[in-house]
Chain A
Amino acid sequence: MHIDWAALGQVFGVTLVVTVGIVGLFTVGIVGTSRKPAADGAATAATAPGAGARAGAMAAFALCAVAVAYGIYLIVAT
């Protein structure tokens, strides 16, 4: 019996990196586009995200969209 440990390890590594990477990117996008919470004790309301944060968030979402497109490509191509 021959178990292909290398292939299994590769699957595990790629899965871990891709999952954590996509979830991380998408969370950056969510954090970038959602309102900042009001500081403790401050009377101000929650503030809208700045332009820079917005642009970064959009870039993160775009990368996630690219990943989804690649996933569809993998499904269609196999």
Chain B
Amino acid sequence: MEHITLLIGIVIVTALVFDFTNGFHDTANAMATTISTGALRPKAAVAMSAGLNLVGAFLSVEVAKTISGGIIDESAGIRPEVIFAGLVGAIVWNMVTWLAGLPSSSSHALFGGLIGATVVSVGTGGVHGEAVVMKVLIPAVAAPFVAGLASMAATRLTYRLARGRREADTAKGYRAGQIASAALVSLAHGTNDAQKTMGVITLALITGGVIAPHSDPPMWVIASAGLAIALGTYLGGWRIIRTMGKGITDIQPPQGFAAQTGAAATILASSHLGFALSTTQVCSGSVMGSGLGRKGGVVRWSTAGRMVAAWALTLPAAGLVSAGAAFLADQGSWGVAAVAVLALAVCGGIWAAARRKPIDHTNVNEGPAAEPVGVVTAALQTVSPPPAGTVTPAATTAEAATPPAQPAQPAQPATATS
């Protein structure tokens, strides 16, 4: 093994930091509904998710050979500085969205960062525009609809089948099923996202001439990437978990089970059929779908709207930060050092801002502060009939108080079962 230069070392550390932010950013995908329905206690949920992420990192030997899935032309002179700048943009955007409590895709942040850095360093020729549309835009737009509709139909069906049963009798079963679905999502996340970091580190090692081209990642890369994502997951992105578990809609055990199962089915079906959908968008969409599927369920569209805005901003925002970072890093060693210092300062500032109003495992299940009724919510309220039976003020924190028994269900069209 050749010696590792300082720059390669910096890239490896930055990649592991990104892996860490990826972990705490995406804990919500698997565990938000599990925590908010009380299927698992918060600490137990993140511990289980972290363990499965670690296992998932070791499971697959098929390493992503291209870190970006063909979005950037990796042969067009990608130097360690470019990878470094791309990672910095992705990390900064992950921190910003975490502070805002918004679930956005870590993969999109990485793609956006790499695109921005490549455009500055190599030029627009280094980016494959069509691949951006095919691999990022369409999967992100399609994901919430596919997962949302499936979860909505499943939620309707399960409430219909289990109607007349007392909630106390069924909640235990729903929670057990939900834990199994969440475990699958965690495992899939570990194999997918930890591999991305391994691919980044391996690419950096190859460009630095430390290991031979086309070689598999060394064991220490696999282990450190798995550990970084597991550690991040265990830390728990509680701000995002609260938004997804409580902010979008009030989730009850049948909904949590339907949403998580829908998310797991969507992720596995889409990646297996060769049309991979974005995990974050899948999980958020299925939570919304389960909110729409329960009678009287309310989706807070203002929260959902902010989330969608964050999705749309992820690629350009991470790209802009990385473009600036790449410009600085291209100036030489002092530029790389300046980027590192600036990135540390920004992350430190965000962390300090988050400390002012901390959200952790103790208060993750408290509802969001009653927010002003958004435009979409208000418009929907005026056109939709009031929920049958219960009169719950919309957009307040009805803490799982809605009685499960729906009185006198009108002749409902047979729920789409298959």
Contacts and interface: CB of A to CB of B under 8 A. Distances in A.
A20 B170 contact: no
A12 to B, nearest CB: 5
A30 B253 CA distance: 12
A54 to B, nearest CB: 13
Given A18-B265, A26-B257, A30-B173, A75 B418 contact: no
A72 interface: yes
Nearest to A76: B59
Interface SS of chain B: helix, strand, loop or mixed?
A: helix
B149 A10 contact: no
Contact of B188 (A31, A46, A75): A75
Interface in B123-172: 130, 133-134, 138, 142, 146-147, 149-151, 153-155, 157-158, 161-162, 164-166, 169-170
Interface string A39-78: 0000000100000000000000000100010011011101
B240 interface: no
17 contacts: A3-B138, A7-B274, A10-B275, A11-B275, A12-B142, A15-B262, A19-B150, A19-B258, A21-B418, A27-B157, A30-B177, A31-B161, A31-B165, A34-B170, A64-B180, A71-B268, A75-B56
Nearest to A34: B169
Interface of B: 56, 59-60, 62, 130, 133-134, 138, 142, 146-147, 149-151, 153-155, 157-158, 161-162, 164-166, 169-170, 173-174, 177, 180, 184, 187-188, 191, 254, 257-258, 261-262, 264-266, 268-275, 277, 416-418
B417 A20 contact: yes
Bin chain A's interface residue count: 35 or more
Closest 6 CB pairs of A and B: A23-B154, A30-B173, A34-B169, A19-B150, A27-B161, A19-B262
Contacts of B277: 11
A11 B418 contact: no
B191 A75 contact: yes
B146 A12 contact: yes
Given A22-B261, A23-B158, A30-B173, A1 B268 contact: no
Report which residue of A1, A15, A21, A37 has the largest number of chain B beta carbons within 10 angstroms of its beta carbon: A15
Contact of A31 (B162, B265, B274, B416): B162
Nearest to A3: B138
Contacts of A27: 157-158, 161-162, 254
B157 A24 contact: yes
Contact of B60 (A3, A10, A68, A78): A78
A72 B264 CA distance: 11
Contact of B272 (A30, A31, A78): A78
Contacts of A4: 275
Nearest to B165: A34
A60 B417 CA distance: 16
Contacts of B271: 74, 78
B417 A30 contact: no
A66 to B, nearest CB: 12
Contacts of B62: 78
Given A18-B269, A34-B173, A75-B59, 11 more contacts: A7-B273, A11-B277, A12-B149, A15-B262, A18-B265, A20-B418, A23-B155, A23-B261, A27-B254, A75-B60, A78-B60
Contacts of A64: 177, 180
Contact of B174 (A11, A14, A30, A46): A30
A17 B154 contact: no
